[in-house]
Amino acid sequence: MNFSIRDAVKNDMPRILDLITELAIFEKEPDAVKITSDDLKVFGFGEHPQFHCFVAEVDGQIEGMALVYKRFSTWTGLVLHLEDLIVSQAKRGCGLGTALLDSVVTYAKAIGVKRVSWEVLDWNAPAISFYEKKGANIMREWNVVQLNEEGIKNYLSKL
């Protein structure tokens, strides 16, 4: 199968949102996606872009994406966070995930970060195996901690 990896453009965001929704369904969170393609356009392509996105195209159709953004580690300095690496269900196992991850790691090196970080669900054995084969360290002793919008509101109400 022939495919190409390229930087996403603003007009790709509706398809990016489709892939994000597909991932949410796979992760058993079908109603969790609140962002819109317009939000993605504003945050990714505004005056101060908040993320960088790569897309995998097969025959002119976007079948995968990897969305990253910079953050800072007090231990190592600049870090690239891989928010999502998604390949459409129909195209998994065809090399798109590897090509997208290759692009992310190449980009990370080019911008001078010291680490690339991301999360993976503990029950997603195929993804864990994929990442381990690529040399990633799965840090099972760490937990993801978040305050969602309601949690932020509740927290602030107690100050």
* Cα of 104 vs its chain's centroid, Å: 10
Question: Facing residues of 56 across strands?
Answer: 5, 64
On the 0-12 / 13-18 / 19+ scale of CB atoms within 10 A, 33 is middle
131 included as an active-site residue: yes
Q: 69, 107, 131, 155: which is the annotated catalytic residue?
A: 131
For CA atoms 18, 20, 26, 30, the dihedral sign is negative
> Which residues are designated catalytic?
131
